[in-house]
Amino acid sequence: MGEEFLPKTPSMVDFVKTLIKECGGSLEFWRENEAYVLVPREQLRRAAKLAYDSGAFLKTCAAVDDRQRIGGYGMYYIFGFDGGGYDVVLHVRVSEASPWVPTISDIVPAADWCELEARDMVGIDVRGRLIRRLVLPEDWPEGVYPLRKDFRYDYRPPPQRGERLELRPAERGVPIGPYHPVLHEPEYFELIAEGETVVDVYYRGFHVHRGIEKLGESPRFTYQKIPFLAERICGICGFVHSTAAIMAMEKAAGIEVPERAEFIRSIVLELERIHSHLLWVGVAAHVLGYDAGFMHVWRVREPVMIISELVTGSRKTYGLNLLGGVRRDIDKDKVGKVLKMLDRLEAEFKELAELLVSVPQIKNRARGTGILRRSEARALSVVGPVARASGLYRDVRKDYPYLAYREASFKVPLYTEGDNLARVLVRVEEVFESISIIRQLLDKLPQGPIMNEKCSAIIPADDLIPPGKYAVSAVEAPRGEDVHFLITGEGRPYRWRVRAPTYQNIPALRPMLRGDTLADAPLTIASIDPCFSCTDRVIVVDARSGRVRKVLKIPVGGGCACPL
């Protein structure tokens, strides 16, 4: 690896210099706003502390089986410096003979889940912390790691029976899930309550595992197909995943995207945000028993679906992204129609939002419940509306401007209360901001092609991406920052790591739920707008065994990982 572009961010250069001076290691590679630093394993904790104390948020960590590439295994800790708009990736190499890393979850609590995931999926042991299974099911055999390269993507190991470690809570709580009316996907929460007051929460997730990351590395997929696979990670924020994946690929290969295509992608991303927030507001009203609100939101949402169909050809799951551009243009006629429907949407939603906030039960039950303090939000690196409602100014569109967001002026709603009402208000305001962004972008829509010429159908796009390149991309999804990390391989990704926003936000539910009443728990759980299909995307589960599994009850943040 060498220098591709000179970094544009002076503060990144300074930080990398300090890092290398204090913790040793060497610079592997950098580009405009990304730096990859190889850190010795012994210095990882110091390096992580330095990054965290310098104000970085841990975006995620990714374990990679590098045996076929550079030898051994690798852990990549992606630290995002929101203030400077750059990422520093700490790379730790471990040998095949001693695949372990020290934990950093006591220094950076947000590392709790991704460390456990690295252990489950690639078999990199994490020392110095409480170990438990996070992703793999309880009957998965020991010593079989699905993301290792010698594990075939379609292999299903026979379930291992026998005694297993179960970290059960001592008391029996109120089960919410795996199937519950408020959860639209299977997840398991157990609320330990005294009377109607929740005193503790236990969580077990990852019931819906589809092995999408593994699939992306398999011979069934090529670069050109990855955006379509990524779009199927989630039914609501699919375009976000598709865009994040394609941005990582374009960044790794240095493929330029025409300005017009960038505008179209941004417009569709904002449409998706409006759709997602409207859907969420409706669900929140339903959870609070205000079904009239739920029904009217569905009515108001309809123009968004019509606009989506007009712009992309589909009401959802647009399939719009291609390497180097987009598939479909927006002509003048469509611009006019979209603007007209946006006016209607804005007027109707304004009326509805005012009505919703005036319903006494909504106001009373959302205010002061599910409080997440700013310090907790910072430690857990929560993202999106959850962070912004707790006073953390975090928005990828502002912090790491991508696509056409530099061209639009918009406000990032910020509340300091950290309660459910704040999260409602952040989302309501964001709908209006998104409408304004779409208007501005449509107004400034530049002329020109919508595809990079290099990426025509004649030259397979897959040949444009050389192997051994790295890229981190992030997109502000409706639920928060969506991070994709890519190491390119031959014709397809060598490693493709997806970190959905809910992955970052679920651990925050524990401090949010404690001390609240049982009646408010569903609203609090809903308030992070959890998307479990995004979070659970990782792994293949033996669904054919037909055995009735008992749900494993495991504490949310065990040991030192969750000091809150």
Contact residues: other proteins, CB under 8 A: 174-175, 180-182, 196, 285-293, 295-296, 299, 359-362, 364-365, 517-522
Token pair for 440: 């501005």
CB of 94 to other proteins, least distance (A): 46
Token pair for 184: 């639209």
Residue 175 or 558 having the CB closest to other proteins: 175
| Nearest residue to 100 (alpha-carbon basis) of 85, 118, 86 | 118
CB of 294 to other proteins, least distance (A): 8
CB of 428 to other proteins, least distance (A): 16
Report the C-alpha gap between 78 and 325 in whole angstroms: 27
Residue 97 or 170 having the CB closest to other proteins: 170
Residue 27 or 518 having the CB closest to other proteins: 518
What is the signed CA dihedral for 484, 488, 489, 491, rounded to 10 degrees? 90
109 preceded by a cis bond (ω within 30 of 0) = no
Residue 165 or 174 having the CB closest to other proteins: 174
Residue 139 or 187 having the CB closest to other proteins: 187
CB of 283 to other proteins, least distance (A): 9
Residue 143 or 360 having the CB closest to other proteins: 360
Q: Do residues 99 and 75 make contact, with C-beta atoms less than 8 angstroms apart?
A: no
Token pair for 525: 């759980």
Residue 27 or 357 having the CB closest to other proteins: 357
Q: Do residues 20 and 47 make contact, with C-beta atoms less than 8 angstroms apart?
A: no
Report the C-alpha gap between 43 and 113 in whole angstroms: 21
Residue 295 or 459 having the CB closest to other proteins: 295
Terminal CA-to-CA distance of the chain, rounded, Å? 40
Which residues are 64's β-sheet partners? 74
Q: Do residues 233 and 533 make contact, with C-beta atoms less than 8 angstroms apart?
A: yes
Residue 116 or 281 having the CB closest to other proteins: 281
**What does each C-alpha distance from 124 to 72, 92, 93, 97, 212 come to in angstroms?**
10, 11, 11, 11, 20
CB of 289 to other proteins, least distance (A): 3
CB of 524 to other proteins, least distance (A): 11
Q: Running DSSP on this structure, what letter comes out for residue 136?
A: S
Residue 177 or 557 having the CB closest to other proteins: 177
CB of 290 to other proteins, least distance (A): 4
CB of 137 to other proteins, least distance (A): 24
Pairing of strands 325-326, 321-322: antiparallel
Report the C-alpha gap between 9 and 401 in whole angstroms: 13
**How far is CA 379 from its chain centroid?**
17
Q: What burial class does residue 65 get, using C-beta atoms within 10 Å of its C-beta: 0-12 exposed, 13-18 middle, 19+ buried? A: buried
Residue 18 or 364 having the CB closest to other proteins: 364
Amino acid identity, position 543? A
Q: Please, which residues have CB within 8 angstroms of residue 109's CB and are 6 or more apart in sequence?
A: 379, 380, 507, 557, 561, 562, 563, 564
CB of 365 to other proteins, least distance (A): 7
Q: What b/e readout covers 344-364, taking b as 16+ CB neighbours within 10 angstroms? A: ebbebbeebbeebeebeebee
Helices 420-444 and 332-358 pack at an angle, to 10 degrees, of 160
In angstroms and rounded to an integer, the radius of gyration of the C-alpha atoms of the chain is 23
Token pair for 31: 């580009």
CB of 536 to other proteins, least distance (A): 22
Residue 14 or 291 having the CB closest to other proteins: 291
Report the C-alpha gap between 210 and 500 in whole angstroms: 14
CB of 174 to other proteins, least distance (A): 6
CB of 500 to other proteins, least distance (A): 24
Report the C-alpha gap between 189 and 540 in whole angstroms: 22
